[in-house]
């Protein structure tokens, strides 16, 4: 048995970081090029989104810690 691990750095930028709800934000994926699958968690109770560069609307006021998971499959 042999296991190898390839670490992928997930990174992204946004077009805005604050505003009034409902607020639509465009996310630009800046993960390393070897990642092939992406999953976004917007921390607002919505389902995970599998997209490279999504738009997401935050319906309610609040502070959200968005997470991007980048995988090599």
Q: Which two tokens stand for residue 52?
A: 């490279």
CA 8 to chain CA centroid, nearest Å: 14
Nearest residue to 42 via CA among 72, 63, 71, 73: 63
pLDDT in tens, 36-68: 899 999 999 999 999 999 999 999 999 999 999
pLDDT in tens, 1-20: 655 555 568 999 999 999 99
Q: Where are the alpha helices (DSSP H) in the chain?
A: none
The model's pTM is: 0.86
Q: Which two tokens stand for residue 36?
A: 């092939």
């Amino acid at each position: 048995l042999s296991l190898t691990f390839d670490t992928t750095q997930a990174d992204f930028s946004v077009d805005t970081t604050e505003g009034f709800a409902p607020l639509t934000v465009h996310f630009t994926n800046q993960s390393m090029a070897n990642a092939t699958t992406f999953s976004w968690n917007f921390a607002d109770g919505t389902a995970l989104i599998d997209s490279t560069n999504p738009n997401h609307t935050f319906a309610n006021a609040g502070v959200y810690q968005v997470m991007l998971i980048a995988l090599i499959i």
